[in-house]
With several copies, the nearest count.
Chain A
């Protein structure tokens, strides 16, 4: 029997998702954002979700749409103030959604830490700022640091460029961003990929995310381009 993580329908991809789950979404702005998986999550209907991502969505597609559907209880991100954000500001200003602001590098490191078995680490980022409030402080070599805890998730929704059936992934240019570390930090990493290749076509020197961090894969050959969709006024669902 051969390992094959490739699925053919979205309901199989998301079959374990539950109300109250914590879900990481790859991407930096629209680059590397797994829009089709997010839309499948809207179709799935899970509620009270905690979303970990760099941004809080644009327009009414992808994460913007998920928030608009009121499926999200809390967003943990570095920058929720995107130029074309509609739904997050609306709910936030009405007190209908929680926000945890995390410096972008601390966010990335907390995610990697979760994937690497590190429950907490010290960092100089945010020392002396409002974001250090309530955090343990410690001095190393005469410099102040604060303790930051790992950030894990039940699921990571990931957009790759190329995958094989073992889950070895590569990404396209700066669409790599948070995707590889989120694969490490989630109990289940669900991947949408443009291309699927045979394992013997995978160059072992060039793999960015090794299959050990991947649970399920689905092919989306021509994913929606967020900025185009927003320009065209597309609203999901």
Chain B
């Protein structure tokens, strides 16, 4: 167990900084599915040198930003059931076709939150093991997208590492995560362990190792 106060002492990247790092790693002309919540921020950080197409699993390709209050159409929503817009060149399809895009390997990147990511890329992000089980499209996304990016705090509110040797929570997928973007580091999942490809300027590799349950290396 890590001391949760560490988080208040050593400041990591804020959400927008993490989102911006992810945005920079999405190549021009990518088809991307952004998970509900924090990952949605990514779309606000795409530079003008590229065009990204957003997929929402409820049958919407070419999703645009949130509409103004007077433009809301309750039949035009995203996977989080929030009103959205559609951009020129977008299209609607039914649920089987929409999930063919995901399951058939046509979505280049999906960005999801995590409760736990294991050193071999297992992801747990759908269930705490308590309450009503509800999975939505998460298992399809991690099994089908070409690259699964995780956007997450490095440790839980209770100070426990989220990057772990073995997940303790029910899995969303096994060996599915490509890369983790946390407030302290950007980490690739490799055969050798958690490979640090970017580390927050305020922390050391030693500190990063302390808040990670599994070997980190550069």
Residues of chain A whose beta carbon lies under 8 Å from any beta carbon of chain B: 1-3, 28-32, 54, 78-82, 88-89, 92, 99, 101-109, 111-112, 114-118, 123-131, 164-166, 168, 171-181, 184, 198-200, 202, 204-205, 207-208, 210-213, 225, 227
CB neighbours of B107 from chain A (8 A): 212
The complex places the Cα of A40 from the Cα of B173 at a distance, in Å, of 40
Residues of chain B whose beta carbon lies under 8 Å from any beta carbon of chain A: 28-29, 31, 48-51, 53, 55-62, 73-77, 81, 86, 88-96, 98-107, 122, 127, 131-140, 143-144, 170-175
**A228: nearest residue on chain B (CB-CB)?**
B74
Q: Is the CB of A204 within 8 A of B86?
A: yes
Q: Which of the residues B28, B88, B106, B137 comes within 8 Å of A103, measured between beta carbons?
A: B137
Q: Is the CB of A31 within 8 A of B75?
A: yes
CB neighbours of B133 from chain A (8 A): 80, 99, 101
Q: Is the interface of B mostly helix, strand, loop or mixed?
A: loop
The distance from the CB of A227 to the nearest CB of chain B, in whole angstroms, is: 7
CB neighbours of A79 from chain B (8 A): 134-136
Q: Is the CB of A130 within 8 A of B170?
A: yes
CB neighbours of A31 from chain B (8 A): 58, 74-77, 81
The distance from the CB of A84 to the nearest CB of chain B, in whole angstroms, is: 10
Q: Is the CB of A184 within 8 A of B100?
A: yes
Given A109-B99, A115-B104, A177-B58, 12 new contacts (CB under 8 A): A1-B28, A1-B48, A31-B81, A80-B133, A106-B140, A115-B100, A117-B143, A130-B127, A173-B86, A174-B60, A210-B93, A211-B53
Q: Is the CB of B75 within 8 A of A78?
A: no
The distance from the CB of B75 to the nearest CB of chain A, in whole angstroms, is: 4
Q: If A130-B171, A177-B59 touch, does A202 touch B105 (CB 8 Å cutoff)?
A: no
CB neighbours of B48 from chain A (8 A): 1
The complex places the Cα of A117 from the Cα of B101 at a distance, in Å, of 9
The complex places the Cα of A81 from the Cα of B107 at a distance, in Å, of 26
**A143: nearest residue on chain B (CB-CB)?**
B143
